[in-house]
Amino acid sequence: MMRNNISFVTLGVDDLERSTSFYKTMGLSPHVRSNPHITFFDMHGQVLALFAQSALAADANVPIEGSNVGGITLAQNVRSADDVQRMLDLAVQSGGTMLREASEPPWGGLRGYFADPDGHPWEVAWNPGITIDDDGRVYLPS
């Protein structure tokens, strides 16, 4: 079942270095777990992530042209690997579309993608390195 929160907002960007620099100039500090492929900013219980637009579309298994993944993907982290499939199944049963079956991403854990009836992509992810509190807020490791 979907919780009443969003864990990550991932922005698809054309130039990761430029976008990271912009957000740093705006006063945000990249998280230590950021890497050359993705930048994370801890937003006090949620995470803003910057990811190359083409890589984001590939990760969601949708073409970049004509899809809603071009600018943003929403994500909800779950507490267990089994919860990933449960939420994906619920999304499809509720009228959504499976974009990417549950699979292991390069960073570990498990993730899958569905689109809502308007085509907005959602990632459902279980990452054993992330802590989720009772209210659903996510915390990146120190």
Percent above pLDDT 70 for the chain: 95
- The yes-or-no verdict on residue 71 having pLDDT over 80 is no
- For 81, residues 6+ apart whose C-beta sits below 8 A from its C-beta are 109, 110, 126
What is the three-class DSSP state of 115? strand
Tens digit of each residue's pLDDT (9 = 90 or more) over 83-94: 999 999 999 998
Task: Please tell me the distance from the alpha carbon of residue 51 to that of residue 133, in angstroms, as a whole number.
Answer: 25
- Going from the N-terminus, what domains does the chain have, and what CATH number goes with each? 8-139 (3.10.180.10)
Q: Are 68 and 53 in contact, with CB atoms under 8 Å apart?
A: no
Residue with tokens 């219980």: 45
**Confidence (pTM):** 0.69
